[in-house]
């Protein structure tokens, strides 16, 4: 999850519920906290429906949110 107003590019790992192929609903951080509890502003608010794509970093595969989806 891209964070806003951090002064540099910062990302927060979050959980999401799979809706269909590569479409997820944004839930909470992997630490089990909301953006408000973490004092953060997320680019996509909790509950947003988003499309994700796979990417690799240091031989690890992750999902990255690429856009908001209207269902």
The DSSP call for residue 53 is: E
CA dihedral 44, 49, 59, 29 (to 10 degrees): 60
pLDDT of residue 56: 92
Q: What is the pTM of this model?
A: 0.86
What does the domain layout of the chain look like in residue ranges?
14-68
List the beta strands (DSSP E) in the chain. Answer: 14-20, 23-29, 49-57, 60-68
Q: What are 46's two structure tokens?
A: 């909790």
pLDDT in tens, the chain (71 residues): 999 999 999 999 999 999 999 999 999 999 999 999 999 999 999 999 999 999 999 999 999 999 999 98
């Amino acid at each position: 999850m891209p964070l806003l107003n951090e002064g540099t590019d910062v990302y927060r790992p979050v959980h999401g519920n799979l809706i269909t192929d590569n479409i997820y609903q944004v839930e909470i951080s992997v630490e089990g906290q909301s953006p408000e509890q973490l004092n953060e502003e997320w680019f996509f608010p909790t509950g947003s429906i988003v499309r994700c794509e796979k990417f690799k970093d240091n031989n690890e595969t992750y999902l990255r949110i690429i856009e908001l989806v209207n269902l």
